[in-house]
């Protein structure tokens, strides 16, 4: 049976960032033990239903998972290993906030089996960090990298954001250059998306913060990202992700390739054996579900064959390698060119897409207008 990936959501944080619309509960980390007990109950129930599947990747995300103590992380991963067959070479990632890690906690996470650390640095400019509500400073981010190396982490990702309010291309180049100098194995470079209902959205609407960079400035930032990462030996393998050879994030590739994953915890989503389902996103609702011993396994609304085909294209085209057309035809009985004959033929003709063996992928120019390509497919 095909191995699966597991995502575990830890919805605690010190303070909500101005741009964040993820499910998280600031100031409630005293309830961590109650929550982790619920996650372990859900874990056991799902393992009883789906079987003791082999797990190839684990991702502990949030929120701020590094609000867990080392002992709590150890118990969580021990429970996971008791329920599932976690592969000896499994990639086990934990997200962390540089303002919440210590030498002792990082050493304990590493001893528990976490072998990939993803630090939410976002910027190395203290003014921009304050503007988006981050709790750490640039100095703390650099120190977190040093502590992670001392704790034995040899696979380190730094999350960075560009397109921040008032940010210039020169500021982005400075942050990216300084991040590269910290010698991580992986960089995630995301363009800020302002989500409705977030504090940042309200600040921008009220004119209470600096304006966002315009399209020309964003284009310049994107070009700088490509150039500086390539010069430093990173290869772009997904629209926002860059890795040194052999350090691509295996867990995230599972999502982009539409392979099976099980989500555990509040608001977590799953795609298992043709079932699409998700957990309650409110605290009380999740605890009730976990206590009942009957976790979510129902369909996530109507998910038609056409929906699945579009999702496969949308996620696959995010990757530089593109969509595996042989697998697409095997799973759906048609090739992408048969499903979208006019759109794909035109995009191939005008140089937005190209064929590389069994893979259909966006060209460099196609990556720049990916949203327009996807709208045509939709």
In order of start, what are the domains of the chain with their CATH numbers?
Answer: 4-256 (3.20.20.70), 321-377 (no CATH)
| Mean pLDDT, residues 123-141 taken together | 96
Rounded CA separation 195/335 (Å): 35
pLDDT for position 300: 59
Strands (E), the chain: 4-10, 12-13, 25-26, 54-62, 85-96, 116-122, 156-162, 186-191, 235-238, 241-243, 261-264, 269-272, 275-278, 323-324, 353-356, 359-362
Q: What is the mean pLDDT of residues 162-189?
A: 98
Positive or negative, the CA dihedral 12, 15, 19, 21 is positive
Q: Residue 293 has what pLDDT?
A: 86
- Rounded Cα–Cα distance for residues 217 and 223 (Å): 10
Q: Which residues of 294-329 are buried (b: 16+ CB within 10 A; e: fewer)?
A: ebbeeeeeeeeeeebbbebbbbbbbbbbbbbbebbb
Q: What are residue 270's DSSP bridge partners?
A: 277
Strand residue runs (E) in 282-349: 323-324
Confidence of residue 177 (pLDDT cuts 50, 70, 90): very high
The Cα 149–Cα 118 span in angstroms is 13
With pLDDT > 70 as the criterion, what percentage of the chain qualifies?
98
Query: Tokens 């982790």, residue?
Result: 36
- Is pLDDT of 189 > 90? yes
Mean pLDDT of all residues belonging to the chain: 95
Mean pLDDT across 60-75: 98
pLDDT at site 296: 82
Mean pLDDT within 253-271: 97
Q: Which pLDDT does position 301 carry in this prediction? A: 55
Neighbours of 113 (CB within 10 A): 17
Element (H, E) at 350: helix 341-350
> How far apart are the C-alpha atoms of 164 and 146, rounded to whole Å?
26
Under a CB-based contact definition with an 8 Å cutoff, are residues 179 and 171 in contact? no
Residue 302 pLDDT greater than 60, yes or no: no
């Amino acid at each position: 049976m095909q191995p699966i990936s597991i995502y575990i959501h830890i919805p605690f944080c010190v303070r909500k960032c101005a741009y964040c619309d993820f499910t998280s509960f600031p100031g409630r980390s005293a309830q961590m033990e109650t929550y982790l007990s619920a996650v372990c109950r859900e874990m056991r129930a799902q393992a009883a239903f789906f079987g003791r599947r082999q797990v190839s990747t684990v991702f502990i995300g949030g929120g701020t998972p590094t609000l867990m103590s080392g002992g709590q992380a150890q118990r969580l991963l021990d429970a996971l290993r008791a329920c599932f067959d976690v592969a000896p070479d499994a990639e086990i990632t934990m997200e962390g906030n540089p303002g919440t890690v210590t030498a002792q906690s990082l050493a304990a996470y590493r001893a528990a089996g976490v072998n990939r650390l993803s630090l939410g640095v976002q910027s190395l400019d203290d003014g921009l960090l304050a503007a988006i509500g981050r709790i750490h400073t640039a100095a703390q981010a650099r120190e977190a990298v040093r502590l992670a190396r001392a704790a034995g982490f040899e696979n380190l990702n730094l999350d960075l954001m560009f397109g921040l309010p008032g940010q210039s291309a020169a500021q982005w180049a400075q942050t990216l250059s300084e991040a590269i100098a910290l010698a991580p194995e992986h960089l995630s470079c995301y363009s800020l998306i302002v989500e409705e209902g977030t504090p940042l959205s309200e600040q921008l609407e009220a004119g209470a913060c600096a304006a966002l960079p315009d399209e020309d400035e964003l284009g310049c930032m994107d070009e700088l990202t490509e150039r500086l990462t390539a010069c430093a030996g990173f290869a772009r393998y997904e629209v926002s992700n860059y890795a040194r050879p052999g350090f691509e994030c295996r867990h995230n590739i599972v999502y982009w390739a539409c392979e099976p994953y099980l989500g555990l915890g509040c608001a977590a989503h799953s795609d298992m054996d043709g079932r699409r389902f998700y957990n309650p996103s409110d605290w009380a609702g999740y605890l009730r579900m976990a206590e009942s011993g009957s976790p979510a396994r129902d369909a996530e609304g109507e998910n038609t064959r056409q929906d699945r085909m579009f999702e496969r294209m949308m996620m696959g085209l995010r990757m530089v390698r593109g969509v595996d057309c042989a697998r697409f035809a095997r799973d759906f009985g048609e090739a992408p060119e048969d499903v979208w004959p006019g759109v794909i033929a035109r995009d191939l003709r005008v140089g937005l897409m190209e064929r590389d063996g069994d893979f259909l992928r966006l060209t460099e120019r196609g990556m720049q207008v990916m949203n327009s390509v996807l709208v045509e497919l939709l």
